[in-house]
Amino acid sequence: MYLEKGARFLAVGSFLVNWHSAFKQCVASDSEIMVAHTRSENAILSSPAQRLVEERVGKLPFRGRHHRLPRRLSDDYIVTAKVLGSGMSGDVRLAHSRTRQQPAAVKTLRLSNCPSEILASEVQIFLCMDHPHVVRLFDVYEYDDHLDLVMECMQGGELLDEVNRLGKFKEAHAAEVTRQMLLVLNYLHSHGVVHRDLKPQNFLYDRKGSNHLKLVDFGLSKFRGQRERMHTTCGTMAYIAPEVLERNYSSQCDMWSLGVMVFVLLSGYLPFKDTGDKKLQRRIMKQGRYSFDPKRWSNISSEAMDFTKCLLQPDTGRRLSIQKSFEHPWIQKSLMKPDESVVVSASEALLSFCQRPPMQRVCMSMMAWVLSNEETAAVRDSFLMLDTNHDGVIELEDLEDLMVHKISVPRDEASDCIRALDSTGSESIHFSDFLAAMLSSRIAMRDDLVAVAFQRFDTECSGKITADNLREVIGDEFGGKDVEELISEVSTSSGGTITRPQLAAYVQGTSVGGRTSSLKVPPCAVKFKPKMNHQKCCSVQ
């Protein structure tokens, strides 16, 4: 059976309710987001929204990616006419970085299509995302009437395309895909985000021939606690949980959607068939009635069927939680087993990074947010191995124990060092913190990376980085040093500014103007060769 694609609809089969009208109905009945929309506001992302992002990911990851005039999208990217996909807000277009020559996907969100509060919510959540199984958001350009979102370009197509190509997945393959979806879902829920529109169309393969999936599209996502109730009927009907139709639900609604996707992966068909009758369809969905076709399920293990049944429970109290899902025997078989040599190597790199001067860590942290998929792919499995709780972060306590027991670092020294890695005070290390550390050992420090970092610190596009520029991006200090001290690490000029050659020399360990850095490109580093690939990329539904 061929499963239909299409944009976000509250529908199955011929029961189509256009998202535009459904969305308006949801907004009108939803006290969560009924805030008066005023075009006179100077910023789409309000000050409280900006503070929330900074609290979650830190000042640098937000301020380094969120741009306002005079910086424009065209300063940093060449946007082509090639359309990668379309959604309610418009087309998603192919673009290329002017500095790195790597492809990107540009999505434009216009105030004329949606109130600023709704746009801000989507962008706010996307800016907070930092996980190996989430599409990376490179930049956000804010104007008076719209936002331009620049994302990494996914070249492998949708998970739904693969289901349609194969008919259904082999069980081991389905378990591996489910494991990846569980990892990203646990990350979302652990950080107070409910997706509310999980479906195969929103999981994309990073490249052709790859089995690595990334989640995209946070247009219906909300910041909510795991038990906090929501009351908006929204999503795609085929994947909506019964309690969502009752307008009284929690984050467990995402687990039902996951169950529908697992059912599709294993069988190749949707559990809830289109009846052609709107009222009957909603009643069937609310009751959660479905059946296993013996022809499709005869070769499926009892463990896989049990896992599916435990997710597709209309009673949320009986439905598998995210934690219990990881403990299920079917998932346990597919979990990644730690490789001690990889864990030791990553721990040594993290220790080396936290011992570097503050300005080096600032530069490497900025570079981490612009790494290509090829570069992050070289180290993402190491991060996931260190993430023992499967919640998308590395706990500082766990890392301290690794340093003490695996690489014989004195506990006091290990404790002092790892505090430098905690950019948000959350007692944990996020994926981009990890990527920054890998720049000192396993990812090449290329000239184009330095150039992008320089551009982001040069907030006035003046060709130099001043103390005010640096303060605008990182705040008044970093690592116990104020911005003037940080600049003096790099520049010997009396004017207290940094030029691009000076920054390149500083991070690459060459000499310019009498200042030399010890940061070298490691001989074992991954050599990245950018490709201008025009295959189907990240399309936001």
CB atoms within 10 A of CB 299: 9
Distance CA 397, CA 395 (A): 5
Distance CA 485, CA 478 (A): 10
Distance CA 200, CA 216 (A): 10
Cis peptide bond N-terminal to 294, omega within 30:
no
Which of 93, 67, 211 is CA-nearest to residue 151?
93
Helices (H), 98-139: 116-128
Which pair of tokens denotes residue 154?
């996914």
CB atoms within 10 A of CB 250: 19
Distance CA 432, CA 370 (A): 10
Q: Which residues pair with 270 in a beta bridge?
A: none
Q: Does residue 126 contact residue 61 with C-beta atoms inside 8 Å?
A: no
Query: Is residue 40 exposed (0-12), middle (13-18) or buried (19+ Cβ within 10 Å)?
Result: exposed
Question: At CA 172, angle to CA 168 and CA 178, rounded to 5?
Answer: 80
Element of type H or E holding 51: helix 47-57
Q: Which residues pair with 93 in a beta bridge?
A: 83, 106
Helices (H), 339-476: 340-354, 358-368, 373-377, 380-386, 396-406, 411-419, 431-438, 447-457, 467-474
Distance CA 388, CA 140 (A): 32
Whether 197 sits among the annotated catalytic residues: the reply is yes
Active site residue: 76, 130, 139, 197, which one?
197
Catalytic residues: 197
